[in-house]
Structure 1
């Protein structure tokens, strides 16, 4: 076992990876030959629990990593924003992924976390905690008539949009360098959905929202403002990263930012090359802590959903980041907060 605190991770796409690679829940439990995360590697890396994203792909023609959709600019790049998804298609895919979550839950080494006590049990015990997160709200009907059904199946965290429009909000496109102020904010349906999340104790995730959408959530929501996986815009001016004003707003509400491990969000040059040292990630942690305070910084890897820095290539490398923070001068108490303490506090305030 690693010599670091148990870790709660704010974002992974392992369920998407199983679909993409035509793998099964059994492969995840036994150990995959591909990807970043499975049960054996979670145990080796000290990953106790995290948000498991249910993400509906737009299709291969709109892959965010596909060079066919990428336009080079004088100082960076732009990636085409996919069109909206059809609701029935989104509901079908999400239903299949929820079935995979149910299959995971039949294994006594996995626990689907529906409240903070479940998360605490995973942090103090041996089960891997799975928190159901929707990365994009396309499966939810605009009138929220099926929201309760998804809640009953475990939904506890919701992102209103990915990098495409939904009935609820506009998603920020991939652009470098770029402000996140690219696109519209919440629709009336989006504002209603935020309030419904508040009423039921579902975390609202501002990752992938435009600046306008972020500020709308900040205005409407009664819960701490959370961005599950992102970085500091002042360090890497990617459209998906957070400006100083946004970081201040997160801290003012008692929220947090989970640090992504994605190379293009961490490297100051916005490049996708994963060959960069751990110090690149530590620089973002330093900036976030200096701006917001230690209580508002956590982890949100984006395992299986992004090209991660090479030193953070899969879940077994999680202790290496915490050791790098220790070497950078962070105390054991600081590291425990970043590893899981801050997530526990925010989940307790939200759920």
Structure 2
């Protein structure tokens, strides 16, 4: 390979990290390359990281309360203290999600044309030509839409083009997917009627529907509802790592039949056969998952879904600038240059084009 291929990635939690940041101006820090974590603009450029799906996400209440209590100044009349997800007041949930959307808009507005929120493949490819960072807005867990359904239109008009209706916790849209290791994804009920209605509405808007945090029953419910490629933006193979959130061979077969794809998650707990959160994990384990998924999906249906800024990475993949090491490992494992280019970006381009057109 004469040059490092560009990378388009299926999932990151940068916007949540910016929201949680104690820094006075995390948007400035991201643009000018001084932000801690897995990525900032300078590191993305160094890595050839064109962009990806940027998640708007409501973190667990207990995590925010224990680590970032300054983010939980309660609105007047709020006395919630029990520690569950329900402890966020409705207004806090709305504020958190809207503030993360505002951070994405600030990244675009304050970058002197270096960052763009994209709603089409043509815009992403233009960013590639112009060496801009391409942001595709994704919603991970849709609790905010349970409070104010009309906010879907607000977020859509602001650029939202991808949604994962569920996260680990239970909501009016369905049961979450949270189970001890090892476990099958067959846990809990499927989608509620509200969840089905939300998916149909988003599908009618030609939005990507992410199944990464759906339990197995919800997965099959979603498959029956939509007439578009099924995408797991950041999931791995259950046969290699029996986390409940990883995909069974039957699910992989359904994704292949839908002409969809899977983005491989770099979090060590979703890679390792023992499910341990151990950063001393070989990059070969990532390649093993890629290899397995390609065997079951075909080489046109697998990419990266790193979960940067929301995961525990292998030591050899400490941040975005170390992606070259993964490219080298793919080459050492005899992945061809055209296949590496598909995994890095082309497969994402193809599936987004099918869904958005």
**Normalized against structure 2, the TM-score is what?**
0.89
Q: Distance in 1 between matches of 2:150 and 2:192?
A: 17
Alignment of 1:104-119 (within 5 A): 104-106=107-109, 107=111, 108-119=113-124
Aligned to 1:308: 313
> Unpaired segments of 5 or more residues in structure 2?
68-82
Q: Secondary structure at the match of 1:295?
A: coil
Conservation of the 8 A alpha-carbon contact between 1:87 and 1:138 = no
Residue 17 (structure 2) aligns with: 17
Distance 1:322 1:174, change over 3 A: farther
Deviation at 1:86, TM superposition (A): 4.8
Q: Distance in 2 between matches of 1:151 and 1:349?
A: 18
Aligned: 1:91 with 2:94: yes
Aligned-residue Cα RMSD (Å) equals 2.0
**Greater CA drift, 87-96 or 7-16:** 87-96
Q: Is the 8 A contact 2:90 2:147 kept in 1?
A: no
1:208 Cα shift? 1.1
Pairing 1:83-162 to 2, within 5 Å after superposition? 83-84=85-86, 86-106=89-109, 107=111, 108-141=113-146, 144-162=149-167
Q: Which residue of 1 aligns with 2:40?
A: 38
Cα displacement (A) at 1:140: 1.1
CA–CA distance in 1 between the matches of 2:150 and 2:97? 16
1:276 aligns with 2:276: no
Post-superposition CA distance 1:233-260 (Å, at most 9, x none): 0001111111100111111100000000
Matches within 5 A, 1:62-77: none
CA distance in structure 2 between the partners assigned to 1:328 and 1:212 by the alignment:
36
Per the alignment, in what secondary structure is the counterpart of residue 48 of structure 1? Answer: strand
Q: Bigger shift: 157-166 or 318-327?
A: 318-327
CA contact (8 A) 2:62 2:84 kept: no
Distance of 2:89 and 2:292 partners within structure 1:
39
The structure 2 residue matched to 1:50, chosen from 39, 48, 52, is 52
Give the whole-Å Cα distance in 2 for the aligned partners of 1:53 and 1:191: 21
User: Do the aligned partners of residues 173 and 337 (structure 1) sit closer, same or farther apart at CA in structure 2, a change above 3 Å counting?
Assistant: same
Secondary structure of the structure 2 residue equivalent to 1:54: strand
Range with bigger deviation, 114-123 or 201-210: 114-123
In structure 2, how many angstroms separate the alpha carbons of the residues matched to 1:186 and 1:124?
Answer: 41
Q: Is the 8 A contact 1:7 1:123 kept in 2?
A: no
User: Does structure 1 residue 285 correspond to structure 2 residue 258?
Assistant: no
Gaps of 5+ in 1: 66-80
Shift of 1:143: 7.6
The whole-number CA distance in structure 2 between the counterparts of 1:166 and 1:93 is 17
Q: CA deviation at 1:231?
A: 0.7
- Deviation of residue 20 (structure 1)? 2.3
TM-score, normalization by structure 1: 0.91
Is the CA contact (8 Å cut-off) linking 2:61 and 2:85 kept in structure 1? no
| Range moving further from structure 2, 83-92 or 158-167 | 83-92
Q: Conserved in 2, the CA contact under 8 Å of 1:52 and 1:132?
A: yes
Aligned to 2:79: none
Determine if contact 2:19/2:103 at 8 Å carries over to the other structure. Answer: no
Instruction: Give the SS at the match of 2:213.
Output: coil
The equivalent of 2:8 in structure 1 is 8
- Which SS does the other structure have where 1:294 is aligned? coil
